[in-house]
Structure 1
Amino acid sequence: MSTSTSGPKSDANFRLPTNVKATHYDLTFKTDLEDLTFKGYGVIHLDIVEETKEIIFNASSDLSIGDVSIHSEALKTEQVQSASEVKIQKDEERVTVLFTHALPKGSKAKLHLGWDAKLTGSMTGYYYSSTEHEGKKRYYTLTQFEPTAARRAFPSWDEPLLKATYDVTMISRADTVNLSNMPVTSEKPFVDAASSSESDGKNLGKLAKMFSLKSEGTTGDAAGKGWKITRFERTPLMSTYLLCFANGHFEYLESSYTSPISGRKIPLRIYTTPDIIHQAQFSLDVKSKVMPIYEQVFQIEYPLPKLDTLVAHDFDAGAMENWGLITGRTSAFLLDPKKSDLAAKKRVATVTSHECAHLWFGDLVTMAWWDNLWLNEGFATLMGEVIIIDKVFPEWKVDSEFIDVHLARALDLDAVRSSHPIEVPVPDANQINQIFDALSYSKAGSVLRMLSNYVGEETFLRGVSIYLSKHLYGNSVTKDLWKGIGEASGLDIPKMLDNWILKIGYPVVTVKENNDSVTVRQDRFLSTGDPTDKENETLWQIPLNVKTADASGKVSTDRSIVLSEREATIPLDTSKPFKLNAQTTGVYRVAYTPERLKKIGEEAAKENSVFSLEDRMGLVSDALILAKAGISQTSAALDLIKSLKSEKEYLVWSAIDSQLGKLTKILWEQPEEVRDDFNAFRRSLMRPLVDKLGYEYSPDDSADTIQLRTLAIAAAAGAKDPDVIAQLASRFKHFQETGDDSKIPADLLRTTFINAVRNGGRAEYETIKKVYKNPPTPSAKISAMLAMTASKDKEIIEETLKFVLTDVQIQDTMYFFSGAAANRESRRRIGEFFKENYDTITKMFEGNFSLSYLVKFSFQELTTEKDADAVEAWFKDKDVSKFNLALAQSLDTIRANAKWLQRSKDDVADWLKKSKL
């Protein structure tokens, strides 16, 4: 398969030379929201490291660069030189500027240059978003520079290691708001230079000429809106990808927190367009709660004078941690407390906390290069979504939920051959976007969680604080973190952790029982179950965390045993209950004999089991995924799940539902009788929960009760329970006829919408379409998108796919693809749709994170070798360099699905028949 049209490229093709160093940027941007253009002018301060006649920096071909000159007092000839030649390397996004006279080594210089460009809706670089205002579209702008898009907004040394300070000035329409990383130092309407002070007048006159400004004040231009100039404080040292600025008609809510370290009061704001500001309070409240906790935990004060958040209608990623000005999409930061479900509340809280974690991990201390992205994202995942948010919302049991949300996600992706190490070389800029995946986030977070559990959370956090303190305002690599935690713990952290970070994959630990011991063996786990000898060379340091119970039922866990060899024998009384990977904190799977798995299942099903909630979650996940790999039988996993039918904990049911969902997808093209039998089994599990919990939600309900009720109803409806479907349909009908949604609890909105379209027709579809076009909340909009793709009607499916390319915001496209892939009636069609519109889609999402997800949604749910061969053949002559990882992982997933199906279809069919007896 071709992965590049021009062959592999070395680091030199993408890393800038080190003959000069940018130390400070003085940047001015003029934004015109009416013409959708921007102009820029920059003075970039340089240290000349080696004598040179050329300056090389990053700049996208979208920028039209002109008026390039350099000033250096060290020159004996002309102190100001205009460029003698400007060379543009489009593919490498680099510009080489040549000068006649060499700049001396050790000198300083100032590079002056101007540029202009069109604003686009690309969701990358400096781009526009929009909202409706008085029946018309009103535009605003913001930036998204991570990982390599600062160069789309200004010429720069656009690498994380090349930190500098920034002075930002923004010129904009007088009735708009300007935002940047730092607070505003001055803001004034543009006036005639002659009426200002001499120094300020000269500056304004220069700006007026440079940016073609009129001088009539705030009302004198043709549009009836004059210009204003906003200046911001200088930033601390930081990487280009963290610079941020925005311009538009924004409103804000305001709060603050008091630093527990200095007593300083730090203002907090959240900005949105006026139409959605009423949904921003909850995120602002979360931010005010987590920020002082972060300071206490790290013993490092947040160093900037303010912290804003800007919510955008169009945003590619979920959110972005720009220092002092966090940005993100509406679903990441907005909710209406009266109309939003608990899932939406949890998302807003965890995203807010995740981004705040980055203010230390990523912003204050930044990875040296993108191969260490995990230092940012793994930490923000663990700190933001578990350790810190648990202190604010302990009732959510986020540490336990991590197993089903992040650990399972990481283990799924890392079980395919085309996975990659957590720390992975990314010399090619095309690869950088692709590693913002479950390995950099979820696996990295899982490995850190495993380490924290092993050394103890207090010791772990002390080590993290040491690490941060030693690299303030600087850059770091993996070994720097290990030194900090090693200093706190006294342990050889690299010895234990290096293979988890630097090697691909993870182990499965196989347990064989002896009379008074167990023999454990580690091998690389692959979802296809067939690692080669070369693939199986890695030996991990595995904390086995052996949980045992004595005759009285007293439970203890031995955390001292680490499996570092291929095999080891451990003394153990196998006549008593035992389990490895206690609390499911380890990043590995455990394979027991069928007899032991049955015993563990029986113990797990007891009212007061020695196996905890987290243990039971891990058992369910391991059982089915090991069956997928052929290590055990799928029927044995189904036996385990069936034995847990009296389970009371939501999170265990969530793990069960996740795993049964995977099996549902494998069986999607099997005979109808098999699918009906499987749905009957699912109903037998879920319907009793529905009958017990009902459909009504109370303010007194615990988080567990709310989530379990929602899960049970959705799962029962998905398994075609006629009574549940009828109940949901009745509630939807009332909404359809009256517009009153009061009979649909917020937590049931998504499943109600999906089932209305799935089991209804044109009328239901059109009702949902109206919700999509005018959603009351971000979560309602997502629910509507997923529902629009749930139809069984071929005509509606085609109409929806056409709608995706004509009427859908770019950021929303992935929801339609995800929904279509989840619908067995459109699962094959979405792949064909991707291929039919390949040029349009790849161009539309060029440079975005979403492209890899669209590839996966389009193909990875297929289940035959023939499918994998056909997909591989179709892409053979395509340039897949921007999504080659996603494509390879999709092909591996299809082939793993195919092997699972071939191994298990008869086993499952037989088990289902017997279970009915």
Structure 2
Amino acid sequence: MGGGFYISKFVGVVGIVFGAGAVATVIALAVVYSQEVAKNEAVSPTNGGSTIKPPVTTPGGSTVKPQITTPVIPTTAPSNEPWDKYRLPDTLKPDHYNLTLWPRLTVNAQDLYIFTGKSYVVFQCVKETDLILIHSNKLNYTKWGDDHLAKLSALGSTPAPTIKKSWLQPTTQFLVLELNGKLAVGESYQLDTVFVGELADDLGGFYRSVYTEEGEEKVVATTQMQPTDARKAFPCFDEPAMKAIFHITLLHPPMTKCCIMILIKTSYCPVWRTSFDKTKKMSTYLLAFIVSDYDYINSTNDNLNVQIRIYARKKAIADGQGEYALSKTGPILKFFEKYYNATYPLPKSDQIALPDFNAGAMENWGLITYRETALLYDPKMSSNSNKERIATIIAHELAHMWFGNLVTLRWWNDLWLNEGFASYVEYLGANEAEPDWNIKDLIVLGDVHRVFAVDALASSHPLSSREEDIQKPEQISELFDAISYSKGASVLRMLSDFLSEEVFSTGLSVCTVYYHIINIILSNTVLQVAVNSTGTSLPTGQTVHSIMNRWVLQMGFPVVTINTTTGLINQQHFLLDPSTAGSVPPSDFKYEWIVPIRWMKTGVVQQQTWLEDKTAHKPDMIVTGNNWILANLNVSGYYRVNYDNTNWERLLGVLSSHHESIPVINRAQLVDDAFNLARAKYINTTLALRTTKYLRSEREYMPWESALDNLDFFYLMFDRSEIYGIMQTYLKYQIEPLFKHFGNITGNWTEVPTGHMDQYNQANAIRVACSTGMEECQTLTKGWYSQWMKDSANNPIHPNLRTTVYCSAIAAGGAAEWEFGWDQFKAATIAIEADKLRSALACTKQPWLLNKYLEYTLDANKIRKQDATSTIVYIASNVVGQSLAWDFMRDRWNYIFTQYGGGSFSFSNLINGVTKRFSTEFELKQLKQFQADNSEVGFGSGTLAVSQSIERTTANIKWVAENKDSVQTWFTTEVPKE
């Protein structure tokens, strides 16, 4: 321990960087900051109060000139030069980085937050070249003594060639160094840089997160590198296969602490400097470093010999909000060690909750970052679904510690392997943490049904893209969609089911131990060995490789139609709008799949069969009389099932008379398949609607949730028409027994149901009963909310019901209810509670309040940037707010796109969410005009979403025209007479 004030050579260099004079600095940083944030045009950082030092010598011996460069952009037309391509050439391979960063947690004279950095990377030349390309985005560089943006040194006996020319290539995000000679194959070199960037609030790269604690505004300097933002923090070879070791040092103010992936070295100065042990060899996108004044709680799991820490705001830690995550991390880690048959590869597991974070969480190796809502739990404020989300997200991220981090993608075109796998096994890990929840079943609602809606469009895409088709950062970001996550999870679950979980995990354990690059699915050699060694049955002549290629390399999925009269079964590519078949890209497999079929006959499970061709004859599937067939048991396969009309009638009869004969998951499946088959014109829409009639007798969550999800489409299509009223009356009639059931078993709403899914269904009962106008329900929710308004310190509403009750009361109320909700949102001390209020505020029926709320999304002091797009979608989900949100998004697209970043994962959700109700020619015309008007601005990661929205709107127009009359007649007939 010692006092004093430590300044390294780097601090001196930084002093030079910022002491060059305000004019030069303003000019130098204008390019970066105009790109970064429109409001910061033509301003730049000063020295932030540091004493200006004289020129100093860098570690390589060169004197740094007191000036910062601006990007030198070649004025020639676009060419086929290496720097005009987005991928790195295969000439250099990084070995290790030495990086020192100094984030400023207070603004400078120009009202900007900045960070400064010094870095060198040691790399080896693997192919002769006279060019160095290294990724760099929105960084400005100090010129070295030779007047270039970097310094090159040789580490071997052969001298390094001198730099001929250096510049920044903003479009492809490269720092380019042309050399006067060739780098020698096998030789190692060192590239030194000194740079400055903005510690912006854009949620990417090295950025700032701001929160208020005890009246004081505090800043966290944190990171989000995935997929291509490490280059915003320091110059690097920013591709996943370019693994290297990192040596990190952070300079930071007193009273703050630092986190990074690997254990802290003992060389820690509590005033200025923290150095960290070297990392494992790893990809740039998995790097993380954070400066904050957070507290943490910790434990050491004796069975793992791993230190586990949960970091969060001091008050959150003091209030015990990290305890649940801490208690579940150890058991989940232990489960994955057994599942992979591989020891957790690091000595510690840190997890940190951030106020501002664009994704749900990020699997940085050993330092996992989360939104606060995804990690912090308070039993007084958090709902059952909040707890489930925390358990599953922790499991998802911990699964990556092996599969994704230890074993890594070569390129982003196979992102689905990484994210699809974690999205599947998150249910297994969460099931280990909470075995009473039966959570593994929920993958059907959360992933399978969710992604069916996207993958049934002609504008969908395969799981695995061609490498040459995924080049630009926005193309990479676009892959972080439901296909990669949810279809990936669904297909891997199917593979695990027909191989058996034991064979599947055996193959993975071998892969994790021996592979450094993921290729297990497309080559399938490891899994095939496991299959052969266990005698697992596959169709004659087929391998894991031949089966999986059809599910991975072509988009979409089949509908399997079973004729129980003839025993014939066939498959066809399922499209929500069959007329779009002509626009589907050609497939080498001609949209045929090798389909595993688990099935039952009149309640008795049968032996699995396979459909290998377009059509097959299965005599066992012929039934007569009251016998019936149900296929795709537990929805283990990634396909829909259709039947002949006779079998459909038998199944409807079973639902109405003794629905328990059909497994719960398959009751949800029958509803979902029927509604979607009707949209695709395989069956009548009225047949689909008939699957909801039995719901008066249904008490289970999954069938109800499936029905409500599908009826939501009818609301989207008809809630602006005369059909809306009779739909409301019908659904009010159907929900009444469920509402009364939960009132009875909870002591008139004073208790919580025991079962995990019963708690979900209780919330469904209140939501639907209130939204359909049941007076008893509305009186209940308005009474609870009114009681809270009278005594804001004592909220009488159970956390499980708050989202529903808040929405119902605000929808039924006026300005007073909305303003109270807004005040409570601002005062919320836990993000989970704030999120409930944020969604509920969009439920008001007052257009002027919704317009005000939309304006709030542009002010990060009111709605955090991470929440802006989802708030707009919440408002668009309200029939009153839909047109307001659409006009708002169109009018401000340039601003939204600039502020929130074209590569943001949320852009596809924004576009799809705001346009999901579109079903008229006028709306289609507006949507196409929106696409044309913003072609120059672009849509970034939402580009595909625009095409999907146009396709979906076109299909909606046709569907409404073809079904409106029959739907109106059916609801009119089925509404009970008074």
The TM-score normalised by the length of structure 1 is: 0.91
Is the CA contact (8 Å cut-off) linking 2:262 and 2:346 kept in structure 1? yes
Q: Bigger shift: 16-25 or 769-778?
A: 769-778
Q: Cα distance, 1:9 vs. partner? A: 12
- How much is the aligned-residue C-alpha RMSD, in angstroms? 2.1
**Bigger relative contact order (CA 8 A; separation at least 6):** 1
Report what 1:21 is aligned to: 93
Give the 3 Å change call, closer, same or farther, for CA 359–803 of structure 1 in structure 2.
same
Q: What is the identity, as a one-letter code, of the residue corresponding to 1:450?
A: M
1:712-791 mapped onto 2 (5 Å cutoff): 712-791=765-844
1: CA distance between counterparts of 2:707 and 2:213? 46
Q: Which amino acid aligns with 2:443?
A: F
Indicate yes or no: 2:213 matched with 1:133: yes
Q: In structure 2, what is the Cα distance between the partners aligned to 1:276 and 1:350?
A: 21
Q: Cα deviations across residues 857-909 of structure 1 (Å, max 9, x unaligned)?
A: 22222112331222112221423351211111111222222222222211111
Q: Deviations over 1:508-535 (max 9, x none)?
A: 1122232xx4211211111113353674
* Secondary structure of 1:92's aligned partner: coil
Q: Distance in 1 between matches of 2:793 and 2:253?
A: 41
Partner of residue 266 from structure 1, selected from 306, 331, 335: 306
Q: Distance in 2 between matches of 1:652 and 1:268?
A: 39
Task: Tell me the residue number matched to 2:23.
Answer: none
Q: Which amino acid aligns with 2:574?
A: F
Alignment-mate amino acid for residue 151 of structure 2: S
Deviation of 1:88 (Å): 1.1
The aligned counterpart of 2:39 is none
Which residue of the partner structure matches residue 922 of structure 2? 866
Shift of 1:19: 1.3
CA contact (8 A) 2:511 2:520 kept: no
Q: Secondary structure at the match of 1:476?
A: coil
Q: In structure 1, how many angstroms separate the alpha carbons of the residues matched to 2:80 and 2:643? A: 44
Q: Is the contact between residue 415 and residue 526 of structure 1 (CA under 8 Å) also seen in structure 2? A: yes
Q: How does 1:137-286 map to 2 (within 5 A)?
A: 137-189=217-269, 227-259=271-303, 265-277=305-317, 278=319, 279-286=321-328
Deviation larger for 393-402 or 750-759? 393-402
Matched, 1:792 2:822: no
Name the stretch that deviates more: 722-731 or 602-611.
602-611
Mark the CA change 1:30 to 1:454 in structure 2 (over 3 Å): closer, same or farther: same
Paired residue for 2:391? 349
CA gap of 1:864–1:158, structure 2 versus 1, over 3 A, is same
Counterparts of 1:762 and 1:719 in 2: how far apart (Å)? Answer: 22
Q: Which residue of 1 aligns with 2:49?
A: none
Aligned equivalent of 2:954, options 874, 895, 900: 895
Per the alignment, residue 57 of structure 2 pairs with: none
The answer on 1:296 being equivalent to 2:338 is yes
1:584 matched to which residue of 2? 635
Match of 1:49 among 107, 126, 129: 126
Letter in 1 for 2:925: D
What amino acid sits opposite 1:648 in the alignment?
R
5 Å-filtered alignment, 1:842-881, equals 842-846=897-901, 847-877=903-933, 878-879=935-936, 880-881=938-939
Shift of residue 337 of structure 1? 1.2
Q: What's 1:567 paired with? A: 615
Name the CA distance, whole Å, in 1 between partners of 2:157 and 2:165.
19
- 1:746 Cα deviation (Å)? 1.1
Q: Which amino acid aligns with 2:815?
A: R
Q: 2:661 aligns to what SS in structure 1?
A: coil
- Larger mean Cα displacement after TM superposition, 612-621 or 649-658: 649-658
Amino acid at match of 1:431: Q
CA contact (8 A) 2:381 2:832 kept: no
Q: Aligned pair 1:97/2:177, yes or no?
A: yes
Change (3 A) 1:307 1:670: same
8 Å CA contact 1:374–1:422 kept in 2: the answer is yes
**Contact 1:37–1:119 (Cα < 8 Å) also in 2:** yes
Normalised to the residue count of structure 2, the TM-score between the two structures is 0.85
In structure 1, what is the Cα distance between the partners aligned to 2:194 and 2:388? 45
Unaligned runs of 5+ in 2: 1-76, 108-112, 145-149, 533-537
Structure-2 separation of matches of 1:59 and 1:485: 39
Distance in 2 of aligned mates of 1:912 and 1:479: 47
Where do residues 187-586 of structure 1 align in structure 2 (5 Å cutoff)? 187-189=267-269, 227-259=271-303, 265-277=305-317, 278=319, 279-384=321-426, 386-425=427-466, 426-471=470-515, 474-477=516-519, 479=521, 482-490=524-532, 492-514=543-565, 517-532=566-581, 535=584, 537-549=590-602, 555-559=604-608, 561-571=609-619, 572-575=621-624, 576-586=627-637
Given that residues 120 and 190 in structure 2 are in contact (C-alpha distance below 8 angstroms), is that contact kept between their aligned partners in structure 1? yes
SS in 2 for 1:587: coil
The separation in 2 between residues aligned to 1:85 and 1:666, in whole angstroms, is 60
Q: Is 1:62 aligned to 2:168, yes or no?
A: no
Q: Which runs of 5+ in 1 are unaligned?
A: 190-217, 219-226
For each residue in 1:47-91, what CA deviation from the matched residue of structure 2 results, as whole angstroms up to 9, or x when unmatched? 1112333211100033435431121144555x6x76442121101
In the alignment of these two chains, the number of paired residues is 859
Question: How far 1:340 moved relative to its partner?
Answer: 1.2
Q: Deviations over 1:5-57 (max 9, x none)?
A: 99999997211011111111111111221232111111211111123332111
Q: State the 1:297 CA deviation.
A: 1.1
Which SS does the other structure have where 1:326 is aligned? Answer: strand
Change (3 A) 1:245 1:867: same
Q: From the superposition, tell whether residues 97 and 749 of structure 1 become closer, same or farther in structure 2 (CA, over 3 Å).
A: same
| Distance change (3 Å), C-alpha of 1:8 and 1:332 | farther
**Residue 302 of structure 1 aligns to which amino acid in structure 2?**
Y
2:965 to 906, 911, 917: 906
- CA change 1:330–1:915 in 2 (3 A) is same
- 1:637 Cα deviation after fit: 1.1
Residues 20 and 47, structure 1, Cα contact 8 Å, conserved in 2: yes
Q: 1:101 to 1:6 in 2, by over 3 A?
A: closer
1:71 to 153, 163, 167: 153
The residue aligned with 2:894 is: 839
Q: CA deviation at 1:664?
A: 1.4
Alignment CA distance shift 1:480-1:468 (3 Å): farther
Q: Give the Cα–Cα distance (whole angstroms) in 1 for the partners of residues 677 and 253 of structure 2.
A: 61
Structure 1, residues 664-720: CA drift from partner, whole Å, max 9, x if none? 11212221xx21110111111212111111152536622232222111111111222
Higher mean Cα deviation, 9-18 or 371-380?
A: 9-18
State the one-letter code of the partner of 2:186. G
Could you tell me how far apart the structure 2 residues matched to 1:557 and 1:779 are? 45
1:423, 1:258 → 2: CA distance? 40
Q: 1:543 to 1:372 in 2, by over 3 A?
A: same
Matched with 1:212 is: none
- Partner SS state of residue 789, structure 1: helix
CA gap of 1:8–1:456, structure 2 versus 1, over 3 A, is farther
**Residues 401 and 481 of structure 1, relative CA distance in 2, 3 Å threshold:** farther
- Structure 2 counterpart of 1:446, one-letter code: S
Evaluate the alpha carbon distance shift between residue 6 and residue 900 of structure 1 in structure 2; reply closer, same or farther with a 3 A threshold. farther
Match of 1:31 in 2: 103
Q: Are the counterparts in 1 of residues 598 and 632 from structure 2 also a CA contact under 8 Å?
A: yes
Encode CA deviations 1:345-392: one digit per residue, 9 max, x unaligned.
1111111111111111111111111111011111101111x2222222
- Provide the secondary structure at the position in 1 that maps to 2:524: helix
- Distance change in 2, residues 1:850/1:614 (3 Å): same
In terms of mean alpha carbon deviation, does 474-483 or 834-843 score higher? 474-483
**Aligned partners of 1:6 and 1:804: how far apart in 2?**
38
Q: Which amino acid aligns with 2:373?
A: S
